[in-house]
Every structure is written in C-alpha cells, then in structure tokens.
Amino acid sequence: MELSISNLSKTYDNGVVALDNISLTIPTGMFGLLGPNGAGKSTLMRTLATLQECDSGSVFFGELDVLDEKDAIRRLLGYLPQDFGVYPKVTAYEMLDHFAVLKGLSNRARRREVVDGLLQQTNLFDVRHQRLGGFSGGMRQRFGIAQALLGDPKLIIVDEPTAGLDPQERVRFHNLLSDIGEDKTVILSTHIVSDVADLCANMAIINKGHLLVCGPTQQLIDEVSDKIWARFVDKKDLAMFQQRHAVISTRLLSGRTLIHVYSEQDPGDGFEEAIGDLEDAYFATIAGRHRAAAHCG
C-alpha cells in the first residue's frame, strides 16, 4: 500500500525547522530515507509512527488518515525506533511474548507459534532463553525487528537500524530486511548510503528539513554516473582543488587522498572519469552540486 505525505512541516519550540513542507509518495517495498544527522529523518519517522505531532500537512496510508486515525494506523504499523531500549534481565522469549500479549495475541498456543516463528525468522531462536542484556548490538536490532513484525504489520518503519553494527551483522540485518520487504511498505531511515544502495528500489534524500530528491534509486545513480571524476591528490593541494573544482567527496584509500568532483565535462587537471555510484549521487545532492531530475510526491 502507498504512503502519501503532503506538505508536512514541523518546527520545534526552539525554532529548529525539522521538516519544511515535505511531500513524497512511498510505494510498497523497501524505501530508503537518506540524510545526514540532523536532517529531520527521526522527526519524520516519529510523525509517521504516530508518536509525534506535526504542525501542518497530511499523511495517508492507502485510504487511512495517518495523522487522524492513530489507533487504526497503529494496528498496521511495526516500528523499530532509533533508541530501542530493552529490559536487560528479561529473556528474548519472555519479552517478545509480552509484546505479543500487548498486541492482542491472547491465545497461548497461537502466541507461542507466532513468537517462535519470529525468533526463527530473526535467527534468535537458539538464544531465546538468554537475557537481552547480554545481546550484542546486532542481536538487539534483530530482536527489534522481531517485535516490529508482531501482528503482521503492513507498514514498517526502521530508524537508523544499522548504525553501530559490525559488517557481518549489517549483512545479516540487510538479509532480514530484504526478506520482509516485498508485500509491505518498509521505510528505512539511515545516514548510511550503502544501506539504501543494497536494499531499496526507491529512495529520498532529505537535508535540513528539505526534501532534495525522491525516486527510483537506479535513476538517481544513472543521473550522475557520467558526471563524476576522480584523482589522487597530495593533502597539501586539497584546498587548491576544492577551490577550483566542485569537490563532492574526499576519502582516504590505502593512505592516499582520493577526491571525487562533479562536472558535466572533463574538468582537466589530471582527473579521470569515474563511474558514479549512489554515494556520489548522495554527496553531490547534499553539496547542492547536483539537482536531481527524479521527483515524486
């Protein structure tokens, strides 16, 4: 089911404009909401999860008015917040069983079936009798997904789920998410570009409360793929290159400084054509160098 967000705005009491007239349409499947820290992602996720009020705008999930019919939307919603706290002394099974009771699964046998199934799906069945306090970050996040999937939600919101996970756990978490994505609307909010590149067919980039771009991920990549140029530079020359070119990223590669610039034509100066990827599209968009054509909403 499609989620339609129209003209959503939120200014906090301290004057910070966290969401500035955001309009976008999120189709079924995995959708990536990408932006740096402070972009407004959590504000948007919490608003969609009915946990926070906005100042103006509307949100519809299919026919359902998300901002108005909160109870109805909560029945369709699975949410993994950024700071998912657990009771450290309780076991995974006990905690999930408790959440299942809260979700209205009162029949014991049926509940056991559901809880066991979710623990299996998230690869936590073997550790189900261990206390949550002893879980690693990755196990905790997978447990967070298990609780978010209770009640067979149609809309799933996960806020910064892979921050702090080691590469192996990130891959595991990606596999888990990609398995649930097909017939549900899953919104993955993150500042990690590879999360979106790996998982999401559609995406948006927000920064400072503004929607910068929204559309199919591949289209965003295609738009920049022939406009990215790369070269290694000496650190002492970096400032000079930054002055002369539209540098969108600087990274160390085997101890050397590699810069990427955005340019419609060959920028000269020893740059070589690079094949632009989502990271380039993201940095070029955030830096205001690239104005993407892909739009939705």
| Residues in contact with ligand ADP by the rule CB under 6 A | 12, 14, 16, 18, 35, 37-43
Q: How far is the CB of 159 from ligand ADP (least distance, A)?
A: 7
Q: How far is the CB of 287 from ligand ADP (least distance, A)?
A: 17
Q: Name, in order, each residue with C-beta under 8 angstroms of 292's C-beta and a sequence gap of 6 or more.
A: 205, 212, 213, 215, 220, 223, 281, 285
- The two three-digit tokens of residue 91, written as one number: 């076991």
Residues in a beta bridge with 34: 190, 205
Q: How far is the CB of 255 from ligand ADP (least distance, A)?
A: 31
Alpha-carbon distance of 67 to 8, in angstroms, equals 11
Q: How far is the CB of 16 from ligand ADP (least distance, A)?
A: 4
Query: 209: alpha, beta or left, given left = phi > 0 and alpha = psi -120 to 50?
Result: left
Q: Which is nearer to ligand ADP, 35 or 144 (CB)?
A: 35
Q: How far is the CB of 14 from ligand ADP (least distance, A)?
A: 5
Q: Name, in order, each residue with C-beta under 8 angstroms of 4's C-beta and a sequence gap of 6 or more.
A: 25, 26, 59, 60, 297
Q: Which is nearer to ligand ADP, 204 or 228 (CB)?
A: 204
Q: Which is nearer to ligand ADP, 214 or 261 (CB)?
A: 214
Q: How far is the CB of 208 from ligand ADP (least distance, A)?
A: 8
Q: State the DSSP code for 66.
A: T
Q: Does residue 285 contact residue 212 with C-beta atoms inside 8 Å?
A: yes
Which pairing describes strands 256-262 and 272-274: parallel, antiparallel, or unpaired?
unpaired
Q: Which is nearer to ligand ADP, 43 or 141 (CB)?
A: 43
Q: What is the CA radius of gyration of the chain?
A: 21
Q: Which is nearer to ligand ADP, 18 or 165 (CB)?
A: 18
Q: Which is nearer to ligand ADP, 16 or 101 (CB)?
A: 16
